[in-house]
Structure 1
């Protein structure tokens, strides 16, 4: 790619040319161009587009005024390829069509939209390489930026190039991707460029001062001389930040244009789509003739075609900001009048809002309706912006306060906690209303919970529930349940009495027996009277929660807003992992469908922790990565609880120890006792795997003694195992007595498996060892089954029955190795060696140097999944699956999928 008109840009153009060459050879590339405004990022992208004749080039520009319109930038980028939507798998088709307003339906899963875009680009690239150019990507609407960042991180073998330009020092979604910083020109090139646009000779000292002050910024060197007066040339340069000076230069040039031409530029600046049809219709509406266009073209500041393009984004901002308020209002009103209310209702509503300088209920109501549509498409950020502007334009103070509260709720769901709290303050300024005051307090408590301040959340939610009781009893009971859930998370030595406070505050049962009330009463009884007294009610409440029908539109349902965490805790408390997994999957679905990313982080971590017990550590790792991606996307911290437990089960001592210590410190600082106990439980798992039984016993005992709801079930097995290895028979007996009491109240295979294993560890009862394995084998608890084989084999080996021990230890070693529980597998290996059997230690190159993703894809292909099915599971494209499989076949020395089962078994 030759830099035809770009002086001093040989290095940058060479990098961009290499990306295109790579795409032509079947590889995908991603690059972020970073630099100051005017440094030449857009010019480089123009050159790239012009020199990519054999490629399909699509581009979009982030526009500051369009940041509230969900999926606007993404739609623009995908527009040339939308004929391929019908070839997408149905879930992807529906998600993308709903996001783009082509199909009515529930809010689409944002990750599914990302996968649909990935598939769409991959499909287009099968014909010829695709170049996606996103200029001013930091100004993309929030969901478009999230989806494109998601896609960019999953490109591999699709022949797609994605290039994003961003300003230095501006937050954006594309951190972590490959970057190229575009800097100012060198002195020689900068002088030559400046002299090419000067109207006449200039004092070399002044010339050099200008070059130095612009730092070689090409746009400044090209544009500023056109706006300088003779005084400027004598003085050398005006003062102020460079961006302001460039924009001021554009302002001067625009000021010299006729009034109608300035008005035409203002229309183009206010219409972010660059839709020429809308531009000319609005111009006609305002009575502008054809002459303004000629003047605008002659100015060189704008070009007209199918799409309207400014010379630079700073021209757009200059044209808009220099306009008078009456002109802006008139232009937005004209654009609202010519925008089709059926095809673009949200854009029309936004223009109407910008055309309104004083409160107007009609406009406010239209914005409120647009907010609902945006929310249904998963645009919670857009919905919040619409609602906030709707509140500003609402004449009635009470209605204004209600809309501010709704905007705050949308901000909270989108992860913007500080903005949500600001809007709550605005809502509080409305006329006194006891119900609204209670709702404000409730949302404030929910935000505290999301921020990890569980104790504050519990107390705030209890106060809100009491305020709601006289007015809205049903909502009050849901709020009491939220307070109970927060109290459970806060409970621990650092916050004594919080659980009892929540239990005592629970209202009396109601005759209608709703699911939320069942759960609330069962938990209150468990806290006040202990497990045996509450077991039947807990089981009944869980069954109602498990079988309650929750639709995609049911975002205010008790299970989603009040019961999701509490019901999951109860599932573990009553030994029902299957119910817990069902509830976790439902929480995932509801969070994804509503676009509630903060809540999705919680559900992903809860789901992953349950999957640790099933041994599916690949799925756990996938959810841990999703938590990280959401944290990056929202700017909120990652939760990381599941990542900590994953490291513990894997026996990764360094990583797990670091995460455990950090979590314990954070939990103490936030007075969130449950998280401290969970980290301590992870410590018990880690140390048992590593054979460090004293440390494991101490950690398990701390959790066991606290009687933490839902964690005793998980800690008791760790305690029994560690105590038996340290000769602490008293605590093994305590664990057995606890298990006997629990399994009498709630007989399940999980509970009986734990009880018989503790009995075997205490008494050396071989029948109890066998019974434990039988119980676990009837569940999905593959980790517990494998560990039962390990303990039985270790006991047999100590009894001198080496042949019998080998059978159990082989089974344990194979299962633990296959699941990736390396420390436990190493325990089995050492025991096998002690029996005289040779066994190979698991090495990182077990799968012939397969990468983690190659091994994961190979396993799914072995299990019969097609490339599109594998792609859908792993959020990558089918072509990337095919590319990884080709490399896997080469490494394993095979030629077909039919050979995978044998090859993978051989390599393992």
Structure 2
């Protein structure tokens, strides 16, 4: 589903139309994970009516295998006869020599094959996850891409980083995060975002920061109680389910490679939505971490910490860092954050204590009620029944109160 992106779609359509008119070209779509690059490639495929569409995607396991991605792209035409196809097939076979002379031969063979294919109908080449292309495929495709201006062919490559095709001189299409209005419209249009209570919707929008994938996955991770608006105001992910997908697996692997102290510090930062550096560093010693443990995470491109605030590089890093930890590790992080908040921030202290609770804690439940009353936010009572394990009778009384307040303000639960 598109939201915004009118200029970017127009540029893609222009490239595809140029291929049909015999004046092709190429461009690199850049943007962070989940920003919509694949959707834009799909749009290009849909716009390429009547053209031969050749697609491939880079893959980390094949990034060291020469010509792996190029072979994948050309599979639909692998049985094509003629000297161009035969020459290319011989060059990119796994047993082929990899000398310098073959690098130039492959470049010329790819361009010759595209020229021959385009003689019958326009050709549109689409490359996803180009940051994981093997070097040989990336070299051959970049060489061809720079020479498509006089061919009925176009190439679009999607990449997260700046280095992929960075010195190729190709045009760039940069995808930004959605503005608040676009993000809200996108969320309403997703299955997970439909029917969210206003407090839950606002929290998802704030947490996702305009990233379309994060909007969809974070909304889907909410429990029924959270969807109704009962969300810990200091830890969005408390009570939510882990997010899934390939990005989650990738982030898990990156987090797993960090030192234990850094992972503990990231968990603290993920558990505290205030992004307050002082609060997180104040809790660090309790979980065996120090301020120095920020450095490996910053070098890995996962977050940036200043004297006052902590910012995750991608909205889903926080979710994965929180749910990758064990329940006992999460409870320990919340206890440390409660101590760090202290008497100066009683509401934050109370909510972190609630998240750290295992089983019913009458004193914590009472503190939550007081926190809700003091804040003037009746939704603040929401976490009590699913963290502190109220009795069924107590839950019934609570829900009756929530429904009464909802009716009073015109909110449909």
TM-score class, shorter-chain normalisation, is 0.5 to 0.7
Give the drift of 1:63: 0.9
Give the drift of 1:86: 2.8
Q: 1:668-747 to 2 correspondence within 5 Å?
A: none
Q: 1:304-343 to 2 correspondence within 5 Å?
A: 313-314=246-247, 317=250
Contact 1:247-1:314 at 8 Å conserved across structures: no
1:235 matched residue in structure 2 = 232
Distance 1:227 1:156, change over 3 A: same
Provide the secondary structure at the position in 2 that maps to 1:250: coil
Select 2:243's aligned residue among 214, 230, 249: 249
Contact 2:30-2:172 at 8 Å conserved across structures: yes
Take 1:249 and 1:238, find their aligned partners in 2: how far apart are those partners?
15
Contact 1:62-1:139 at 8 Å conserved across structures: yes
2:326 matched residue in structure 1 = none
Distance 1:72 1:315, change over 3 A: farther
1:171 matched residue in structure 2 = 163
Distance 1:106 1:315, change over 3 A: closer
1:100 matched residue in structure 2 = 93
Contact 2:28-2:165 at 8 Å conserved across structures: no
Provide the secondary structure at the position in 2 that maps to 1:156: coil
1:465 matched residue in structure 2 = none
2:130 matched residue in structure 1 = 137
Contact 2:52-2:122 at 8 Å conserved across structures: yes
Give the drift of 1:120: 0.5
Provide the secondary structure at the position in 2 that maps to 1:8: coil
2:211 matched residue in structure 1 = 217
2:83 matched residue in structure 1 = 87
- 1:491-536: per-residue Cα shift (whole Å, max 9, x none)? xxxxxxxxxxxxxxxxxxxxxxxxxxxxxxxxxxxxxxxxxxxxxx
Select 2:193's aligned residue among 179, 191, 198: 198
1:57 matched residue in structure 2 = 53
Distance 1:87 1:201, change over 3 A: same
Distance 1:54 1:70, change over 3 A: same
Provide the secondary structure at the position in 1 that maps to 2:176: coil
2:273 matched residue in structure 1 = none
- 1:136-188: per-residue Cα shift (whole Å, max 9, x none)? 10100111111111111222211111001011x45323443100101122222
Distance 1:104 1:228, change over 3 A: same
Distance 1:63 1:127, change over 3 A: same
Select 2:27's aligned residue among 15, 20, 31: 31
1:21 matched residue in structure 2 = 17
Contact 2:208-2:218 at 8 Å conserved across structures: no
Select 1:160's aligned residue among 131, 153, 162: 153
**Structure (1/2) with the larger strand percentage:** 2
Provide the secondary structure at the position in 1 that maps to 2:155: strand
Take 1:236 and 1:114, find their aligned partners in 2: how far apart are those partners?
56
- 1:301-338: per-residue Cα shift (whole Å, max 9, x none)? xxxxxxxxxxxx52664799999xxxxxxxxxxxxxxx
2:72 matched residue in structure 1 = 76
Runs (5+) with no aligned partner, structure 2: 257-413
2:38 matched residue in structure 1 = 42
Take 2:197 and 2:47, find their aligned partners in 1: how far apart are those partners?
36
Take 2:118 and 2:249, find their aligned partners in 1: how far apart are those partners?
33
Provide the secondary structure at the position in 1 that maps to 2:159: strand
Distance 1:162 1:12, change over 3 A: same
Provide the secondary structure at the position in 1 that maps to 2:76: helix
Residue 186 of structure 1 pairs with residue 179 of structure 2: yes
Distance 1:75 1:228, change over 3 A: same
1:146 matched residue in structure 2 = 139
- 1:830-873: per-residue Cα shift (whole Å, max 9, x none)? xxxxxxxxxxxxxxxxxxxxxxxxxxxxxxxxxxxxxxxxxxxx
2:335 matched residue in structure 1 = none
Distance 1:50 1:200, change over 3 A: same
Higher relative contact order (CA 8 A, sep 6+): 2
Provide the secondary structure at the position in 2 that maps to 1:128: coil
1:122 matched residue in structure 2 = 115
2:2 matched residue in structure 1 = 6
Contact 1:210-1:236 at 8 Å conserved across structures: no
Greater gyration radius: 1
Take 1:64 and 1:239, find their aligned partners in 2: how far apart are those partners?
32
Contact 2:222-2:241 at 8 Å conserved across structures: no
TM-score, normalized by length of structure 1?
0.25
Give the drift of 1:227: 1.4
Q: 1:434-453 to 2 correspondence within 5 Å?
A: none
Contact 2:25-2:146 at 8 Å conserved across structures: no
2:324 matched residue in structure 1 = none
Distance 1:227 1:106, change over 3 A: closer
Take 2:170 and 2:182, find their aligned partners in 1: how far apart are those partners?
30
**Structure (1/2) with the larger helix percentage:** 1
Provide the secondary structure at the position in 2 that maps to 1:14: helix
Provide the secondary structure at the position in 1 that maps to 2:82: helix
- 1:92-131: per-residue Cα shift (whole Å, max 9, x none)? 8446413224x75674610110110011011101111111
Take 1:39 and 1:63, find their aligned partners in 2: how far apart are those partners?
19
Take 2:121 and 2:184, find their aligned partners in 1: how far apart are those partners?
41
Contact 2:58-2:134 at 8 Å conserved across structures: yes
Contact 1:84-1:124 at 8 Å conserved across structures: no
Take 1:32 and 1:23, find their aligned partners in 2: how far apart are those partners?
16
Q: 1:800-815 to 2 correspondence within 5 Å?
A: none
The size of the alignment, in residue pairs, is 247
Contact 2:58-2:129 at 8 Å conserved across structures: yes
Take 2:44 and 2:233, find their aligned partners in 1: how far apart are those partners?
35
2:330 matched residue in structure 1 = none
- 1:381-431: per-residue Cα shift (whole Å, max 9, x none)? xxxxxxxxxxxxxxxxxxxxxxxxxxxxxxxxxxxxxxxxxxxxxxxxxxx
TM-score, normalized by length of structure 2?
0.53
Contact 1:71-1:143 at 8 Å conserved across structures: yes
Distance 1:148 1:223, change over 3 A: same
Q: Over aligned residues, Cα RMSD in angstroms?
A: 3.2
Distance 1:7 1:93, change over 3 A: same
1:897 matched residue in structure 2 = none
Provide the secondary structure at the position in 2 that maps to 1:158: coil
